[in-house]
Amino acid sequence: MLAESLVVAGMIFVVGTLGVIVRRNVIIMFLCIELQLNAVNLTFVAFSRYVGIEGQVFVFFVIAVAAAEAAVGLAIIISIFRHYETVDVSNFNLLKW
Amino acid sequence: MQAAGLGESTAAWEPVLPWLIILLPLLGFAINGALALSAARKSADAVRAGGEFDFFENGRPRTHSLPTWVGPGVMLLAFLLTLVNFAGMLGADLHEPVVLSYWSWISTGELEVAAAIQLDQLSMIMMLIITGVGLLIHVFSVGYMRDDPGYPRYFAYLNLFIFFMLVLVMGASYPIMFIGWEGVGLCSYLLIGFWFSDEAKASAGKKAFIVNRIGDLGFLLAIFLLYLVFQRVDFVGIFGDAESVFEYGGSVITWVTLFLLMAATGKSAQIPLYVWLPDAMAGPTPVSALIHAATMVTAGVYLVARSSVLFALAPLSSAMVAGIGVLTALFAATIALKQNDIKKVLAYSTISQLGYMFLGVGVGAYTAGIFHLMTHAFFKALLFLGAGAVIHSMHHALHHTKKDWDAQDMRNMGGLKAYMPYTWITMWLATVAIAGIWPFAGFFSKDGIIWMTGAMAGAEQAPYAGLYTVYWILALATAMLTAFYMTRLMVMTFHGENRTGSREAEHLHEAPRIMWIPLAVLAVLSVFGGWINVSTDLRESILGGFGLLPMGEWLHGWLEPVTEAAHLIQETNLGEIAHAAPIFGGGEWVWGLISFVAASAVVLATLRLLGSRKVTVAVDDAEPTGLARFLYNKWYVDEFYHRWVVDPILTTSRVLWRVVDTTIIDGTVHLVGNGTRALGWVVSLFQTGQVNTYAFILTVGVLVILSMVAF
Amino acid sequence: MAEILFFIFAAVAVGAAVGVVVSRSPVASLLFMVTTLASTAGIFVLLEAHFLAALQIMVYAGAIMVLFLFVIMLLNLGHEYQRDIRGNVAVIMGFAVTGLMGGLLVRQLGGGTAGLETNLGPGDAIDAALLEYGAVGAIARPLFTDYVVPFELTGILLLVAIVGALVLAKKAS
């Protein structure tokens, strides 16, 4: 079942990547990043059957980090939204020199 | 402090505080330097405040009292300490040099250089000359520099010079010697440009520094080569192994010695690097006496004598040393014939006498070379100091009436013997000494060199015997030229009518006591200094009063431990030296007598010829013509160098600057810079500020890495 | 049975993931996301990572997604249905790049694990650990022995994240 799990994880990851690239809604971009993280979690779990329990321990940490990231990221989104009154990233163009 | 194992002396002699001899002048430098700095600061403060710092207080420069005691004081202590050590060494039967190693200076890989000093007969003689003559010149300077605002700075430089000179002669390895070598060069530069506000004098200092640099390159190359061969650079180690390592006349030893010769020609002002010395006369006259006559310029001779073992193994280099020496001697003497500046005459005379020393060490007569170095230090220092006294007096006289004549031009002098009797007498003693009149110092030392050249030409298996014969003839001829131009100097300066002008002449005066006492001491040394090394042949002839002259070959015996290795090599390879002149035959005393008579004849003839001739003062004097003009312009060597060395270098530099540097190198740099900037501009287009774009580019990067992993 | 379940879960997970990307409504996206997470949790169970499956449902699908929902609600985005896809060029390039990457990933992950399939030693060890300590104990043992320091650091990280989020989201007074 390893190969199949990995293929599924790859597909989810690619879909998440596509979402980050094409969507402009910052919340949905964020969700797509979570999708990517989830895909990675799946690979960890799949490999843990064959490599060791550490894979699962790592997934535990990834979830914790994802929680922290969500909290901070969403706080940032809120404060940006307060400023621009929008969640469309094409309005956030200060991220350059 | 411990004696290094290798150089440990077998005789029970402990040097007395030898490090203090070196450090005393350094201490003097520190004190005088601090005073000079504080005076400069006060002066700068005063100028900034809109005024002018008054160096003179109650008619006496206020910066003077301490340097007056410190400068000559440390020299006196150093000289006394040297004397104590000399006495100790006299008592001990010393056959190996005493090497005192203080700490490890360089320790890297195979190279070990200790901060070590070496005391042996050769360095002891040099130390005596340096501290002794140095002391006298310091004392003289107290009078000569009295009115100069840079008084403490002057003594700081002078003390620093003595320090480096002592490092040079006491160093126990080539790198230590090189420190001293560079240090004296620095002090020479500082003192030539002592009156740096005069641009010509400042450039004279630069010229000396740059020309010396060429020689220093040779020194460094020689050290590198020696290190390559021996893996060590200390004297004891190199000279001990030299014979077994080098083949007689082999190419490596020839290169090493040629590089050392290059260094020596730079420092000792020999062809082709002599041009800086005449310009070095821009410095204060006591400096010319100390640095550019008595001590520093003899460093090259010392270098060759110190490396005598190496030079003895390289007959070609030795022949070149001798050849350069004799050519320089003759060449400089011809220039000296027609110079009018009193210091220029003495400068060329110095170059000429240094040529004699090179001839001496070049023909393997290391003792004779060092002997001439010593006697020359006496009479040339005396001549320079005398000239200093004359200039001092002339300067005062001309200054009184604000006459803008050249105080150094002999055409403006004449008849000074009435005003300056002591200077006149002492300078005459030095003149007959340098002219080679028996029984003054110069006769014995110069005759020794000339005779050894002739003897070398007649050695059993001498290479280049014909060449040595030529050297011998040239050396004899130069001795006559020396007698002529020195007498000319004396006649133009002291004899005949006074040409300074009647109003000025009233202010001409004898030098103060503090200036003529050193002259008197040096005069005594110039008269009797030659008696310490009278060869047995001479001593038992009429010239030695049939054995009456004391001391005999004392110096020869004294230096024997240092030079015997070189002499042995020479004897093995060249055979016995001759006991008759190469042409016409005749022993040493015969030729000594001939040269004495000839030199005396030249002196007397010159006195008669020039004494009655009228000299026109400088402002009215016509340009010389013909050969005289050629000599007056110093064979146009400076012009030649300018045309063929300086200008090509300048042109090349300009091409390198304009074309290579500005166009090619800068162009490349700018191209790279602009290219990078253009690339940056292109790449900055990707930086839209849109997160999606960044995510896209990131993904492309991941894709690239993935492809690299996959394929 | 397990295989069939796996393919169902897999299909739902991938399909819902596509749904996340294509939904106009953030709320719909979010619900698709929850579906994906739940399906993935199912796959976790099939891979015998029972504790993680529970964690996925409770923490991920439960807590984090609810956090997202709160934010959507807070920003009042629930009824914004306007199109927020990038321009055509960006979409084509995005498809091209992600398509290439997907192809590569599937190609590599689908065929490159033959060596691992046979090495079932750790799998047996995990089975043994599950039998002996139970689903929680099996993962808790390494977590509280070998990885105790990272674990504590994670706690600190969460604390920092909470403080950071508070500071960022606080209204400027």
Q: What share of chain B is helix, strand, coil (3-state, %, to 5)?
A: 75, 5, 25
Residue of chain A whose Cα is closest to the Cα of C139: A57
pLDDT at B2: 42
pLDDT at B3: 42
Helix residue ranges, H only, chain C: 2-22, 26-46, 50-55, 65-75, 88-111, 114-118, 121-144, 148-169
Q: Is the per-residue pLDDT at B323 higher than 90?
A: yes
Q: Is the per-residue pLDDT at B178 higher than 70?
A: yes
Q: Are residues C51 and C95 in the same domain?
A: no
Dihedral sign, Cα of residue B674, residue B677, residue B683, residue B685? negative
Instruction: Report the run of H or E that residue B145 belongs to, with start and end.
Output: none
Q: For residue B1, name the pLDDT band (cuts at 50, 70, 90).
A: very low
CB pair distance less than 8 Å for B692 and A21: yes
Do B143 and B512 meet the contact criterion of CB atoms below 8 Å apart?
A: yes
Specify the range with the lowest mean pLDDT, choosing from A33-37, A80-84, B175-179, B297-301. Answer: A80-84
How far out from the chain centre does Cα B676 lie?
55
Mean predicted lDDT score pLDDT of chain A: 88
Q: Give the pLDDT confidence of B66-91 residue by residue, as tens digits.
A: 888 888 999 999 999 999 999 999 88
In this complex, is the C-beta atom of A21 within 8 Å of any C-beta atom belonging to chain C?
yes
Do B296 and B161 meet the contact criterion of CB atoms below 8 Å apart?
A: yes
Mean predicted lDDT score pLDDT of chain B: 87
pLDDT at B5: 43
Mean per-residue pLDDT, B626-636: 83
Q: What distance in Å separates residue B699's CA from the closest CA in chain C? A: 7
- Which CATH number does the domain housing residue C20 bear? 1.20.120.1200
Q: Are residues C56 and C8 in the same domain?
A: yes
Task: Look up residue B571 and give its two tokens.
Answer: 């004897």
Q: Give the pLDDT confidence of B118-156 residue by residue, as tens digits.
A: 999 999 999 999 999 999 999 999 988 887 878 889 999
Q: Where are the beta strands (DSSP E) in B33-97?
A: 56-57, 60-61
pLDDT at C148: 93
CB pair distance less than 8 Å for A10 and C74: no
Rounded to two decimals, the pTM is 0.71
Q: Are residues C46 and C91 in the same domain?
A: no
Do B447 and B571 meet the contact criterion of CB atoms below 8 Å apart?
A: no
Q: Which residues of B574-612 are buried (b: 16+ CB within 10 A; e: fewer)?
A: beebbeebbeeeeebbbbbbebbebbbebbeebeeebee
B707 vs C contacts (CB less than 8 Å):
104
pLDDT at B7: 42
CB pair distance less than 8 Å for B696 and C97: yes
How far out from the chain centre does Cα A68 lie?
12
Residue of chain B whose Cα is closest to the Cα of C109: B710
CB pair distance less than 8 Å for B684 and A97: yes
In this complex, is the C-beta atom of C169 within 8 Å of any C-beta atom belonging to chain A?
yes
- Best mutation site among B691, B697, B699, B707 for testing chain C: the one with the most C CBs within 10 Å? B699
CB pair distance less than 8 Å for A96 and B687: yes
Mean per-residue pLDDT, B369-385: 93
Length of chain B: 711
How far out from the chain centre does Cα B158 lie?
14
Tell me which residue has tokens 């400069």. Answer: B40
pLDDT at A1: 73
Specify the range with the lowest mean pLDDT, choosing from B330-344, B679-693, C7-21. Answer: B679-693
CB pair distance less than 8 Å for B710 and C108: yes
Q: Are residues C63 and C103 in the same domain?
A: no
CB pair distance less than 8 Å for C86 and B707: no
Edge to edge, the sheet with strand B2-3 lists B2-3, B98-108, B111-119
- Beta-carbon contacts of C151 under 8 Å, excluding residues fewer than 6 positions away, are C143, C144
A90 vs B contacts (CB less than 8 Å):
690
In this prediction, what percent of chain B has a pLDDT beyond 90? 45
Rounded CA-CA distance B378/B373 in Å is 9
Angle in degrees, CA B114, B117, B123, rounded to 5: 145
ipTM of the complex: 0.91
In this complex, is the C-beta atom of A29 within 8 Å of any C-beta atom belonging to chain C?
no
Q: What is the 3-state secondary structure (H, E, C) of B570-631?
A: HHHHHCCCCCCCCCCCCCHHHHHHHHHHHHHHHHHHHHHHHHCCCCCCHHHCCCCCHHHHHH
Tell me which residue has tokens 């002219």. Answer: B435
Rounded CA-CA distance A55/A34 in Å is 18
CB pair distance less than 8 Å for C71 and A78: yes
- Best mutation site among B694, B698, B700 for testing chain C: the one with the most C CBs within 10 Å? B700
Mean per-residue pLDDT, B102-131: 90
CB pair distance less than 8 Å for A22 and B692: yes
Helices B315-336 + B465-494 axis angle, to 10: 30
Do C41 and C78 meet the contact criterion of CB atoms below 8 Å apart?
A: no
The SS3 assignment for B2 reads strand
In this complex, is the C-beta atom of A61 within 8 Å of any C-beta atom belonging to chain C?
yes
- Beta-carbon contacts of B180 under 8 Å, excluding residues fewer than 6 positions away, are B164, B165, B166, B167, B168, B169, B171
B706 vs A contacts (CB less than 8 Å):
none
Mean per-residue pLDDT, B455-478: 85
- What phi-psi label fits residue A5: left (phi over 0), alpha (psi between -120 and 50 degrees) or beta? alpha
Rounded CA-CA distance B563/C67 in Å is 99
Residue B531: which of B606, B433, B610 has the closest Cα? B433
B709 vs C contacts (CB less than 8 Å):
108
Q: Are residues C90 and C75 in the same domain?
A: no
C97 vs B contacts (CB less than 8 Å):
696, 699-700, 703
Q: Which among C90, C93, C104 has CB closest to B706? A: C104
Per DSSP, C85 falls in state: B
> In this structure, what are the phi and psi dihedrals at residue B502, rounded to the nearest 5 degrees?
-65, -40
Mean per-residue pLDDT, A43-56: 85
Mean per-residue pLDDT, B93-120: 88
The SS3 assignment for C114 reads helix
- What phi-psi label fits residue B462: left (phi over 0), alpha (psi between -120 and 50 degrees) or beta? beta
Higher pLDDT, B466 or B382: B382
Burial-class residue B101 by CB neighbours within 10 Å (0-12, 13-18, 19+): buried
CB pair distance less than 8 Å for A41 and C91: no
Q: Are residues C45 and C9 in the same domain?
A: yes
pLDDT at B9: 44
Q: Are residues C98 and C146 in the same domain?
A: no
A69 vs C contacts (CB less than 8 Å):
161
Do B694 and A93 meet the contact criterion of CB atoms below 8 Å apart?
A: no
- Measuring CA to CA, how many Å separate A84 from each of A32, A36, B620, B709, C75? 22, 27, 96, 42, 12
Q: What distance in Å separates residue C86's CA from the closest CA in chain B? A: 9
Do B490 and B399 meet the contact criterion of CB atoms below 8 Å apart?
A: no
B689 vs A contacts (CB less than 8 Å):
92-96
Task: Look up residue C141 and give its two tokens.
Answer: 């043992």
Specify the range with the lowest mean pLDDT, choosing from B36-45, B479-488, B576-585. Answer: B576-585
Do B442 and B540 meet the contact criterion of CB atoms below 8 Å apart?
A: no
Q: What distance in Å separates residue A63's CA from the closest CA in chain B? A: 22
pLDDT at C169: 82
pLDDT at B66: 82
Do B434 and B460 meet the contact criterion of CB atoms below 8 Å apart?
A: no
A24 vs B contacts (CB less than 8 Å):
692
pLDDT at B544: 75
Rounded CA-CA distance A17/C1 in Å is 32
Residue of chain A whose Cα is closest to the Cα of C3: A1
Do B300 and B263 meet the contact criterion of CB atoms below 8 Å apart?
A: yes
Interface of C with A in 108-167 (CB under 8 A): 109-111, 113, 116-117, 119-120, 122-123, 125-126, 129, 138-139, 142-143, 147, 150, 154, 157-158, 160-162, 164-167
In this complex, is the C-beta atom of B690 within 8 Å of any C-beta atom belonging to chain A?
yes
Residue B268: which of B203, B188, B179 has the closest Cα? B188
Q: Where are the beta strands (DSSP E) in B27-121?
A: 56-57, 60-61, 98-108, 111-119
How far out from the chain centre does Cα B218 lie?
16
Size of interface A-C (CB pairs under 8 A): 240
B702 vs C contacts (CB less than 8 Å):
101
B691 vs A contacts (CB less than 8 Å):
26, 29, 89, 92, 95
- Beta-carbon contacts of B610 under 8 Å, excluding residues fewer than 6 positions away, are B487, B488, B491, B492
Dihedral sign, Cα of residue B660, residue B664, residue B665, residue B670? positive
Q: Is the per-residue pLDDT at B202 higher than 50?
A: yes
What domain range is C93 assigned to? 86-121
List residues in chain B touching C: CB distance below 8 A: 692-693, 696, 699-700, 702-703, 706-707, 709-710
Q: Are residues C115 and C168 in the same domain?
A: no
Q: For residue B679, name the pLDDT band (cuts at 50, 70, 90).
A: very high
Do B173 and B233 meet the contact criterion of CB atoms below 8 Å apart?
A: yes
In this complex, is the C-beta atom of C96 within 8 Å of any C-beta atom belonging to chain A?
no
Q: Give the pLDDT confidence of C76-109 residue by residue, as tens digits.
A: 776 666 677 778 888 888 889 889 888 888 877 7
- Beta-carbon contacts of C124 under 8 Å, excluding residues fewer than 6 positions away, are none
Q: Are residues C27 and C69 in the same domain?
A: yes
pLDDT at B137: 93
CB pair distance less than 8 Å for B695 and A94: no
pLDDT at B428: 93
Q: Are residues C46 and C58 in the same domain?
A: yes
- Which domains, ranges and CATH numbers included, belong to chain A? 2-91 (1.10.287.3510)
Per DSSP, B106 falls in state: E
- Best mutation site among A1, A6, A8, A83 for testing chain C: the one with the most C CBs within 10 Å? A8
A9 vs C contacts (CB less than 8 Å):
109
The SS3 assignment for B171 reads strand
Q: Which among C10, C29, C63 has CB closest to A67? A: C63
How far out from the chain centre does Cα A65 lie?
11
Q: Are residues C66 and C98 in the same domain?
A: no
Q: Give the pLDDT confidence of B32-52 residue by residue, as tens digits.
A: 999 888 888 887 887 788 776
In this complex, is the C-beta atom of A6 within 8 Å of any C-beta atom belonging to chain C?
yes
Low-confidence ranges of chain C (pLDDT < 50): none
In chain C, the number of structural domains is: 3
Q: Are residues C101 and C73 in the same domain?
A: no
Top-confidence range, A46-55, B435-444, C80-89, C118-127? B435-444
Rounded CA-CA distance C145/B162 in Å is 76
Residue of chain A whose Cα is closest to the Cα of C166: A75
Q: Which among B693, B702, B709 has CB closest to C101? A: B702
